Each structure stands twice: as structure tokens, then as C-alpha cells.
Amino acid sequence: MGRHCARADARWPRCAWARMLREFIVKDVLGATMDVYTRCRVVGRKHFDGLEAPVVFVANHSSHMDTPTILRALPRKWRRRTAVAAASDYFYRKRRIAYLVSLAFNTVPMRRNGGGLEPSVTSSLARLLHERWNLLVFAEGTRSRDGRVGRLRSGAAVLAAEHGLVIVPIHVSGTHAAMPPGQRWMRRKRGGFIPRRHPIEVQFGEPIRPRDGERPAEVMERVRLFFAASGAVTTPDERLYAGNGRPATREPAKTA
């Protein structure tokens, strides 16, 4: 698996012809298809004003639709310079699938091992960030089965702190209803005589910069607070809470 992932994480998905083809795939092919089943609203693009690349995008994850939905929502210059962290044990088991997702979404393989990053993965990501590519990470490590946000792993916070980067939190809602885990294709919203398109929303949050001395778990708690404020049902990290039930660092936002 390790050798195969190393081959799959090649430079060709980030060359000029691949970027041009990917723009067509994401915007015109997948975009037009998703518009048949969903209608998307984007909030918070103002947070890109004055923001410099590279950054680490951290999003919740409940559907295979999340990646193309987020990429479409990004401003064009950011979309064209963003790589997506993908689970090596899922997308890179078969070479054909690995090459397909690498081309369509500019994926880089990462192992799901509890939030830590292996040296080979760290080296690969460091090269990407040095070349000023942004990285999209789904911090839960897997898709939510019920639409709620699970525990956030700390790898993105570690990466941001090591490279002096900001984290841009992204909350996606509605994709779970349109295409939940286990469903092979999108569906329209049932009810009434004519099925309707599912409303989905992408919210970009204010950039989060790790503070000196701040633990990775505390950084990710700030990401969780944004998800909660955006309407997500979330679970606070119990490691940050004292015995009296109050957070050890800051009060959590009210969850939906």
C-alpha cells in the first residue's frame, strides 16, 4: 500500500493540462450534474479578501458530494491551487480509481491513523505547501453516517502550526440528504407531486491561526465551534473539559 500511494501521489495531477481538465470536470461536468439534484448557496467568500495562500481548509464530511461541492464554491484562483487529502485505504486501493480521483480532484493520499501524520505523508504535504498549494482536509477522517459532525482529528492543526499557516474552516450542509454514505448516486428531495432539488450550503469561516502554545486539540475546538455556530450538531472534545463541565479553554457555541 505504501509504495502504491507513493506512485499515486505524483506531480502530474498538478501540471497545466491536468488543472485545465479538472476545471472542466468540476465546473461543467460534475457541476451541471449536481445542479439537477441540488441548489447551492455559498456564504463567507468575504473571508478570502486579503488572504494569502497557502492555507489549510478544514471541512466536515458526510457525503461523497462534499469535495466537488467545496471546490465549486471556492473562488476560481483558489480552486485551481487546492489539493484534497484523500484516504489511501479507500481511494487508492485500485490504481484506476486512484488515477481518476487524482485527476478529478487533485487528491493526495493520507492514511487514517487517528490524526497523526506519517513521515512520508508529512514530507509530501510539506512539498505541496512549499509550492504554495492549499490543502483541503476532512478532519473527521471519514464520512458521518448520521449527518452530525464527529470528533475532529488534530492533523490539520499540527500541519498549520508547523508551517505557519492559517486554517479556513468550511461547513457543508445538505449533501448528506442528497447522497448519504452507502448511496451510489444523488437523489432529489421527496415529497409532493414533483421531487425537488436538495438545498445545500457551503459556509466559509473566518481564518483561524494557531496561537503560540495552543494545543492542536484547542485549535480544532475553534473549528468545531464554527461548525456548531453554522448549525451543525457537534461533539465537544472531552479532553478540553474540566470536571465541572465547563471547557478548560473557552465556552462552546450552542449546538443545533
Q: Does a structural domain hold residue 153?
A: yes
Judge contact between 179 and 63, C-beta under 8 A: yes
Q: Does a structural domain hold residue 124?
A: yes
Q: Does a structural domain hold residue 116?
A: yes
pLDDT of 256 > 50? The answer is no
Count: domains in the chain? 1
Cβ count near 222 (within 10 Å): 20
Please give the Cα distance from 71 to 181 (Å, whole number): 20
Q: Does a structural domain hold residue 246?
A: no
Global pTM reads: 0.87
Per-residue pLDDT band at 6 (split at 50, 70, 90): very low
Angle between helices 66-73 and 95-105 (to 10 degrees): 20
pLDDT of 207 > 80? The answer is yes
Per-residue pLDDT band at 112 (split at 50, 70, 90): low
pLDDT of 2 > 50? The answer is no
Q: Does a structural domain hold residue 247?
A: no
pLDDT at position 248 is 43
- What is the span of the domain harbouring residue 162? 2-240
Q: Does a structural domain hold residue 56?
A: yes
Q: Does a structural domain hold residue 207?
A: yes
Q: Does a structural domain hold residue 78?
A: yes
pLDDT of 231 > 70? The answer is yes
Q: What is the domain-level CATH number for residue 87?
A: 3.40.1130
pLDDT of 91 > 80? The answer is no
What digits encode the pLDDT tens for the residues 132-179? Answer: 999 999 999 889 999 999 999 998 999 999 999 999 999 999 999 999
pLDDT at position 253 is 40
Please give the Cα distance from 35 to 246 (Å, whole number): 43
